[in-house]
Amino acid sequence: MTGRNLFPAAILICIFLFIGTAFVSLDFKEKLPALETAGSTHSVLSEPCKSECKSSGGESLPRGIVSRTSDLEMQSLGGSPRSLKKKGKTTQKSLLAIAVGVKQKKVVNQIVQKFSSNNFVIMLFHYDGIVDGWKDMPWSGSALHVSAINQTKWWFAKRFLHPDIVSEYKYIFLWDEDLGVDHFHPGRYLSIIEKEGLEISQPALDTSKSQVHHRITARWRKGNVHRRIYNYHGGGQSCDENSINPPCTGWVEMMAPVFSRAAWHCVWYMIQNDLIHAWGLDIQLGYCAQGDRSKNVGVVDSEYLVHKALPTLGSYDDEKTTGETSNNLTEIKTEKSKAEVRAGSHASSDRSAVRYRSYRELEIFRRRWNQAVEEDKCWIDPYSKPKKKANNN
Ligand SMILES: *[C@@H]1O[C@H](CO)[C@@H](O)[C@H](O)[C@H]1NC(C)=O
Ligand SMILES: *[C@@H]1O[C@H](CO)[C@@H](O)[C@H](O)[C@H]1NC(C)=O
């Protein structure tokens, strides 16, 4: 695929996507059981809570012709069409999607080089609109390029990684661009998360070379994987061996998450169209862990990354951020109004505006979540907080 063809390709994906969305929004109730597996709620659901049989829009067609899902495979213009069905299940691909700007070409190249030999589909989300700047990369022609200026990784993911489009892929790597991969091998990583049953994971961070915002992401020197932190007090958090809540356990950071197909299927629904920084999502990811979040969510220590904290889209990695996981509303509000003041002043106002929006989004997401919980009488929280536990026994 040459540079000139990229935009039409992106448009084509859009069209697929919108068709896909039409199917899915109607289909939503059918898909809820994936969420329900987080707890054993099936038996307790009363009659009105059971999913209704909704139409998908394809009923007027003979069933065998209905093609419900799609993929990101490129096809050749001539010859016989290559059917994915015929290929069998031996080669299960995964997907690497990275939000990129051409300024980080060198480090992105290093990441993609690692992945290209390992049965991955590569998808770049160009937030600076510069697609042609990547043409000289040998892998550029076989990667998918989607371009939309100043949009975040979550904005792209919500729009271009619809579960029905990416259902072919076993794992979805949804990464930032500023990651050092010298000590990371995708093949080995995949075999570890498969063996450990991690539905949501991330590679650990090399603490000597990375900015580590959250203790749980720091690399342990022994073993392949860790799933919790012990003896930690700080940042309004206190974690010990009895902790059952994120970010003490069942938690990964949003910079380099890896989702199983089923987990992504759930996470996609949780991403809100308008909350493009996705703050607050991390804390709730465990609801998509396909079971116990303290077992199915983890950090891989033996394959690890360096978080370079390079300037990326609207980034402020040089400032300390706590908002992503702080449960302390007072703190969030304080940070937000500080950001608001900075955004109003002239100095570095772009960044401050982004920061302000991130905090706003966190508030809005929490409110929406709580309201949804309130309104959905059929939903049972498998991780209901100790406070509420009284009604649970
Ligand atoms: C994208 O964001 C940058 C930084 O905030 C800004 O300078 C630029 O004008 C934006 N571009 C568009 C097309 O909105
Ligand atoms: C929240 O943060 C504020 C300011 O740091 C602190 O005074 C307060 O005790 C915290 N509240 C909780 C519940 O941790």
Q: What is the CATH number of the domain that holds 36?
A: 3.90.550
Residue 104 falls within a domain, yes or no?
A: yes
Is residue 275 domain-shared with residue 372, that is, in the same domain? Answer: no
Question: How many domains does the chain divide into?
Answer: 2
Question: pLDDT value at position 35?
Answer: 42
**Torsion (CA) 343, 347, 349, 352 in degrees, nearest 10:** -60
Residue 391 falls within a domain, yes or no?
A: no
Question: pLDDT value at position 252?
Answer: 95
Residue 87 falls within a domain, yes or no?
A: no
Residue nearest to atom 4 of ligand 1 (CA): 350
Question: pLDDT value at position 232?
Answer: 81
Residue nearest to atom 2 of ligand 1 (CA): 150
Residue 85 falls within a domain, yes or no?
A: no
Residue type, 239: C
Residue nearest to atom 8 of ligand 1 (CA): 150
Q: How far apart are CA 350 and CA 348, in angstroms?
A: 6
Ligand 2 centroid distance, CA of 154 (Å): 30
Mind listing the pLDDT tens digit for each residue in 271-323? 999 999 999 999 999 999 999 999 999 999 999 999 987 777 866 444 444 44
- For residue 350, which atom of ligand 1 is closest to its CA? 5
pTM over 0.85: no
Contact present, 162 and 17 (Cβ < 8 Å): yes
Residue 386 falls within a domain, yes or no?
A: no
- Full pLDDT tens readout for the chain, 393 residues: 444 444 445 444 444 444 444 444 444 444 444 444 444 444 455 566 766 656 778 889 999 999 999 999 999 999 888 765 555 555 689 999 999 999 999 999 999 999 987 699 999 999 999 999 999 999 999 999 999 999 999 999 999 999 999 999 999 999 999 999 999 999 999 999 999 999 999 999 998 888 788 889 999 999 999 999 887 887 667 888 889 999 899 999 999 999 999 999 999 999 999 999 999 999 999 999 999 999 999 999 999 999 987 777 866 444 444 445 566 667 777 777 777 776 666 556 777 888 889 999 999 999 999 999 999 999 999 998 655 444 443
**Among 346, 317, 193, residue whose Cα is nearest residue 258:** 193
Q: Which ligand is nearest to the CA of 312?
A: 1
Residue 179's DSSP bridge partners are 307
Cα-based distances in Å from 274 to 15, 156, 159, 362: 20, 12, 11, 12
Q: Decide which of 275, 307, 339 is a domain's last residue.
A: 307
Is residue 99 domain-shared with residue 203, that is, in the same domain? Answer: yes
- For residue 328, which atom of ligand 2 is closest to its CA? 1
Q: How far apart are CA 251 and CA 10, in angstroms?
A: 33
138 lines ligand 2 (CB under 6 A): no
Q: How far apart are CA 211 and CA 217, in angstroms?
A: 10
Is residue 227 domain-shared with residue 344, that is, in the same domain? Answer: no
Question: pLDDT value at position 309?
Answer: 78
Ligand 1 centroid distance, CA of 319 (Å): 21
Is residue 302 domain-shared with residue 334, that is, in the same domain? Answer: no
Q: How far apart are CA 184 and CA 201, in angstroms?
A: 14
Is residue 272 domain-shared with residue 367, that is, in the same domain? Answer: no
Pocket test for ligand 1, best of 149, 150, 276, 350 (most atoms within 8 A of CB): 150
**What is the extent of the structural domain holding 172?**
3-43+52-58+92-307
Q: How far apart are CA 29 and CA 54, in angstroms?
A: 8
Question: pLDDT value at position 59?
Answer: 86
